Amino acid sequence: MTTPDTNANTAGVCWRIRDCSPEVQQYCQHAVSDYDMCPATCKFAVCLRPEHRPTWDPKYVFEPNIDRNQALKHNCIHCEFFIINGPKHDKNKPKELEFADEGPSAEHLAYLEASEK
């Protein structure tokens, strides 16, 4: 298992990483396909990356050019980092998914272990 690099240059795919193990994904009702979004209430969907900044600013929330279907976690669609850096709708290009199967980060695993105690 690799730990995602969360610096600003490579974190652009964080919205395409499910932070649960492949074993969990086998029985999860939300990880059926690359188009299913993890709900915000799932403990694996908690984003601990330093870029995660939840926002309710209308200029971001109502931005029409964001391709929110590319996010695998519901928490991402209200993240300022995702809205600014995420995929945009391009009417001239067919929609393709960029999937990074890097697994959960070390910080997320530590959080999960602490929450189980």
Query: pLDDT tens string for the chain (117 positions)?
Result: 333 333 333 344 788 888 888 888 888 887 777 778 888 888 888 888 999 999 999 999 898 899 998 888 999 999 999 999 988 887 665 555 444 455 666 766 777 777 766
Residue 107's nearest CA partner among 6, 36, 37 is: 6
**Which amino acid is it at 48?**
L
Q: Where are the alpha helices (DSSP H) in 53-98?
A: 58-61, 80-85
Q: Say how far apart CA 73 and CA 86 lie, in whole Å.
A: 13
Q: Say how far apart CA 66 and CA 77 lie, in whole Å.
A: 9
Q: Is 54 strand, coil or helix?
A: strand
Q: Say how far apart CA 69 and CA 71 lie, in whole Å.
A: 6
Taking every pair of C-alpha atoms in the chain, what is the biggest distance, in angstroms? 50
Output the pTM of the full model: 0.63
